[in-house]
Amino acid sequence: MRVALLVQKKMRVILDRLYEAIAANSTHCDILWLDDKDQRDLERYFRKSIDAQKYDRIVVFLRFKKMIRQRQFLRTIPNLVFFEHDAWFNYRSKKYLGEFSRHYRAMPWARIICSGHSVTQKLCAEGFDAVFVPKGYDQTLLRNLRQPRSIELAFVGSTNNKLYTERSEFLKQLATVEPMEIVRTKSGEEYLQKLNAIRFFVSADINFDEYMIKNFEAMACGCVLLAFNQGEDENAALGFEDMKNIVLYKSLDELRQKLQLLRADAALSDSIAAKRQELVEAHFRFADIGRQVVEAMRAPLRAHGEGDSRKAATIAWLEAVRYRILRR
């Protein structure tokens, strides 16, 4: 299977190993890095750089806010697959509420590879060709160094983005009643060392409906993960079992109660850590996730134009007009 993989040139999260794993599991894969200018004008980029007829799958993993203005052109791309890590915005974010559905409705024949199990089910219920492949972690960068841990309780990552308001508020509230660190680090070695210094990592993805990459990274580095509970279906799909390989909570009080239990029972904490390590290394390395992505795109796609409607075409046309006006 010949694949063109269109990805962002600049991202906060380094996903190079994931792209390489997708390429390694394809017969042929061209990884195409698009800067902001390229993403703003996909029609120009394709005309200059891509012969779409050469590929069995054209996989788009670009900034959503750039794509929604270009639906009319995206509708012309054959064998189209969307690779999506942010579709949970469709159901939870005020800014993007329903926007992903409107976008995909203009191209109902395209496949959507989605990183949330519950979100994938919602998209399927709306009639989309959606397939679940979870997030994971870079196994070449992040690992358990099995060294002494000097920080008992911490969160590493962003709290400033407006999309993460609930995360920020929860962590600040927790920090007023528990001794914890809230820090940011550079990617790479600094991030690896910081995660390996933490005993209990607090993940506060409040009501995301899926688990972010940071959860898998913390688990891979040996932290006992205390994560906001995203629901039974999501946990079952990932193999997460509360107080066995992960610690789940729904409220600040529940988190603190379980934290006290772990502090008092080192054997329980060590057992959770051991089972967590086994789970994440067996299933969530980018090497494994890349293979799953290729498997998810391998099945025949809907025929180009299948499920199309005058309404879908009209929506795409209106978006194209809006896009051209904004470019002036």
Domain ranges of the chain: 2-136+288-327, 151-284
> What's the mean pLDDT in 172-192?
94
> What's the mean pLDDT in 253-264?
97
> What's the mean pLDDT in 237-252?
97
pTM, two decimals, is 0.89
Q: Do domains 2-136+288-327 and 151-284 have the same CATH topology?
A: yes
**Interhelix angle for 266-283 vs 213-220, to 10°?**
120
pLDDT score of 65 more than 80? yes
pLDDT score of 309 more than 60? no
Quickly state the pLDDT bin for 317 (edges 50, 70, 90).
very low
Domain range 151-284, CATH class: alpha beta
Quickly state the pLDDT bin for 310 (edges 50, 70, 90).
low
Tell me what the pLDDT averaged over the chain comes to.
91
What confidence tens digit (pLDDT) does each residue in 24-63 have?
999 999 999 999 999 999 999 999 999 999 999 999 999 9
Domain covering 2-136+288-327: architecture: 3-Layer(aba) Sandwich (3.40)
pLDDT score of 320 more than 50? no
